[in-house]
């Protein structure tokens, strides 16, 4: 896509705000639920049953593990550490590595149809361009490249002057695409990084592994507030996201789930629960 932001022009976008703790489909609003919700939405969007959807989600004191993390040799010791520090752990249904969430971190999912015109890079670029536009009044220095020493490092780490504040992932479900970003807004990013670093230290120890796990350096992690010298709350940024979508030409609609989305959700939640059986301690 030559102009990623043109994607939103004259487009109806269903906006769903799950940033509070109300239940979703009568289930607790937690990370395990969120990944099943995005899968259900992606299925419906891909079938053109519902329009493109933007979903906001916030979960407190949760470490979201990637599938490779579940294979760490001393995983139970790392999980025990998280539990004693009052963190929940959940293995998501996609690649990537551990990410720390709390009330100062906002997650945004853009869920769009998987057409032949939307490559994997296009999907990442849509979110990257959106975040650049979101903070355009405050900085033009947001870059996308891997930040060595960050947790969940990847080509679409978003950073300012080499300090990462966000990471983008992507999941394709049948004919739908969920482009997901976590964005550190407020709070202590260094403490989040220290928790992830200690989790890896205890879970891997000195064991040789086939997979390369990050050596987390808290100094390369920061909040957007720290990097652009602002004092935004998560709620502030959510309102900015809505306003930016409108400025890009999207028509926002309050979203309601369809019966089919609820059916798919329960199936996907069951799969998530099965995947997470191995990390219960």
Q: How far, in Å, CA of 110 to CA of 151, rounded?
A: 22
Q: How far, in Å, CA of 152 to CA of 96, rounded?
A: 6
Kind of pairing, strands 11-18 and 250-254? parallel
User: 3-class SS at 249?
Assistant: coil
Strand partners, 91: 65
Q: Which of 56, 152, 173, 241 is catalytic?
A: 152
The stretches of the chain forming alpha helices (DSSP H) are 31-46, 75-84, 120-134, 189-204, 224-228, 234-247, 259-275
Q: What sign for the dihedral angle of Cα 8, 9, 13, 17?
A: positive
Q: In angstroms, how far is CA 186 from the centroid of its own chain?
A: 16
Give CA separation, 37 vs 51, 118, 200, 253, in Å: 15, 22, 28, 18
Sheet with 62-65: strands ordered across: 88-91, 62-65, 99-101
Catalytic site includes residue 152: yes
DSSP for residue 138: T
33 CB-near residues (< 8 Å, 6+ apart):
24, 25, 27, 269
Question: Which residues are the active-site residues?
Answer: 152
């Amino acid at each position: 896509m030559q102009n990623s932001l043109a994607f939103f022009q004259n487009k109806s976008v269903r906006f769903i705000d799950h940033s509070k703790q109300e239940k979703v489909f009568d289930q607790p609003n937690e990370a395990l639920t969120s990944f099943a919700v995005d899968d259900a939405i992606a299925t419906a969007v891909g079938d053109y049953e519902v329009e493109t959807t933007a979903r906001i989600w916030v979960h407190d004191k949760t470490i979201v593990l990637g599938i490779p993390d579940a294979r760490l040799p001393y995983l139970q010791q790392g999980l025990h550490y998280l539990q004693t520090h009052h963190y929940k752990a959940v293995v998501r249904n996609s690649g990537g590595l551990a990410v720390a969430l709390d009330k100062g971190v906002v997650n945004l999912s853009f869920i769009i149809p998987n057409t032949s015109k939307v490559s994997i890079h296009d999907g990442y670029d849509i979110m990257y361009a959106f975040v650049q536009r979101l903070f355009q009044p405050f900085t033009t220095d947001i870059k996308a490249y891997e930040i060595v020493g960050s947790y969940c490092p990847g080509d679409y780490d978003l950073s300012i002057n080499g300090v990462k504040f966000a990471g983008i992932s992507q999941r394709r479900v049948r004919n739908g695409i969920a482009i997901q970003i976590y964005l550190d807004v407020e709070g202590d990013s260094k403490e989040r990084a220290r928790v992830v670093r200690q989790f890896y230290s205890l879970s891997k120890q000195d064991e040789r592994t086939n997979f390369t796990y990050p050596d987390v350096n808290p100094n390369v992690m920061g909040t957007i507030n720290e990097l652009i010298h602002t004092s935004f709350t998560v709620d502030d940024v959510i309102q900015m996201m809505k306003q930016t979508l409108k400025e890009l030409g999207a028509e926002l609609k309050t979203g309601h789930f369809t019966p089919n989305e609820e059916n798919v959700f329960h199936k996907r939640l069951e799969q998530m629960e099965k995947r997470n059986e191995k990390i219960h301690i």
